[in-house]
Amino acid sequence: MKKTIHMAAAILAVSVITSGCVFAPGQNLLPKSSSQGGGDEPGVEVVVRPITGDVIAEQNSGERVAQLQDTLEELSGFKPEAYRIGAGDVLSITVWDHPELTAPAGTVINNIDANGRVIRDDGTFFYPYAGTVQAAGKTVDEVRSLLTSRMTKFIASPQIDVAVTRYGSQKVYLVGAFQKASALPVTTVPLSLPDALGQAGIDLLNADLSSLTLRRDDITYDLDLDAINRAGFTAANVMLKDGDQLQLPYADRKKVYVMGEVARPMAVRFKLASISLADALLEANGLNQNTSKGSSIYVLRDRAGAEANWRVVDVYSLDSSSPESLVLADKFALQAGDMVYVGSAGITRWNRVISQLFPSASLLNTATDIKNN
């Protein structure tokens, strides 16, 4: 709510500063390159800048891509060690030439839990002649060696095979816009980031592909899937470990708002890191040819100020009547929460004034052929 008030204040403030006319509906916002105070709204500063090649170059400085590359390199530094058995795992133990130990009842039962040894909460399991065995924290080879050393007292040169048949002690958690949002087990085969995403499946219609995060050891890593693909980076070397949490937000709240003199004012949803100004206007079916003023297109962006109780609204202006405007609009990236405002032509503003004074009057229909000033 406060953000909406700040945006409304910005529209009013810039109108007052730049047009000098506040009594007619449908105000124009005329671009200025200098910062302006909010004036009527304490704690709000309005900064107006024209959309130019320099502004777009600032957006494409590559800082975000560089940060993403650093993140991938840091995460790739983790190399999984040999799997450590834990509580909840199930072990299959075979003593060759001694089927009575593998299947104590003398009958082979095709059931993992019936033939297997479940690691209890205290990290142990029981096995004939070996007694209670501490398995938690040990590798499969270490458990095999321990069993062999204990059973040598009863069996000459025992040949023992140990394998994990069910994994229940280590998990990676996937939350959000996945087709199968659940926990994936960490196994003896290392689990990479692409493998985990592939197993869970991404809800491509609703996922915010630019906002995937990995939570590990109380640190949150931003992983923009769209940027990774566009930059040609690989995440195949990012291995996941027990306790990792992947969160993929839904894109239902990722919107920009297109208002003013457009054919269809609306909130435009998008799933990537940004959407271009041109695409947002296209979603709104473009400018209203009868009422809009092409030289008055503005993008309003709210951000925190230098002081705790101070807000700054950046206002970027575009004159769509200039030849390079289409290229600039296509390159200018909007962010979630941005407001796109299209001003009205002079005849439209006066028609609205007359319509308020004389409701039965309809100057608009008779003025569509008049050239906008």
Whether residues 274 and 207 share a domain: the answer is no
pTM: 0.69
In a domain, 201, yes or no: yes
Q: What is the separation, in whole angstroms, between the first and last Cα of the chain?
A: 35
Question: Is residue 59 one of the residues assigned to a domain?
Answer: no
pLDDT of residue 271: 81
| CATH number for the domain harbouring residue 101 | 3.30.1950.10
Residues 97 and 30 in one domain: no
Residue by residue, DSSP assigns 307-358 as STT-EEEEEEEE-TTSTTHHHHHHHPEE-TT-EEEEEEPHHHHHHHHHHHH-
Give the helix/strand (H/E) hosting 68: helix 63-76
Q: Which of 221, 248, 275 is the last residue of a domain?
A: 248
| List of residues 6+ apart from 103 with CB closer than 8 A | 109, 115
Last residue of a domain, one of 232, 248, 264: 248
What does the pLDDT read at residue 184?
Answer: 96
- β-strand partners of 317: 50, 298
Long-range (24+ apart) CB contacts under 8 A made by 362-367 are 364/290, 364/291
The letter for the amino acid at 109 is I
Query: CA 162, CA 94: separation in Å to the nearest integer?
Result: 7
Residues 134 and 153 in one domain: yes
What's residue 31's pLDDT? 42
Strands 275-276 and 292-304: unpaired
Report pLDDT for 368.
42
Displacement of CA 232 from its chain's centroid (Å) = 18
Q: Please count the structural domains in the chain.
A: 3
Element (H, E) at 15: helix 2-19
What is the CATH number for 209? 3.10.560.10
The answer on 150 and 281 residing in a single domain is no
- Please report whether residue 213 resides in a domain: yes
Per the structure, the complete domain to which residue 345 belongs is given by 2-50+254-367
Res 104: pLDDT: 59
Are residues 344 and 258 part of one domain? yes
pLDDT for residue 273: 77
Residues 218 and 315 in one domain: no
Residue 189 shares a structural domain with residue 116: no
Asked if 265 and 322 sit in the same domain, the reply is: yes
Domain membership of residue 373 (yes or no) is: no
CB 49 within 8 A of CB 18: no
Residues 6 or more apart from 250 whose CB is under 8 A from it? Answer: 176, 177, 203, 206, 207, 208
Same domain, 124 and 239: no
Residue 57 domain-assigned?
Answer: no
Q: Are 21 and 27 in contact (CB under 8 A)?
A: yes
Sequence-distant (6+) residues with CB within 8 A of 154 are: 129
212 and 102 share one domain? no
Are 348 and 313 contained in the same domain? yes
Residues 173 and 220: their CA atoms lie apart, in Å, by 14
Among residues 209, 229, 248, the one where a domain terminates is 248
Is 185 inside a domain boundary?
yes
Q: What is the mean pLDDT of each run of 10 residues along the chain (373 residues)?
A: 54 46 39 42 77 86 82 94 95 87 58 75 93 95 95 90 94 95 94 95 90 95 89 91 95 88 91 87 89 84 76 87 86 91 69 50 43 45
Segment 333-352, tens digit of pLDDT: 998 889 999 988 765 554 55
Residues 175, 73 share a domain: yes
Does residue 296 fall inside a structural domain?
yes
Tell me if 55 is assigned to some domain: no
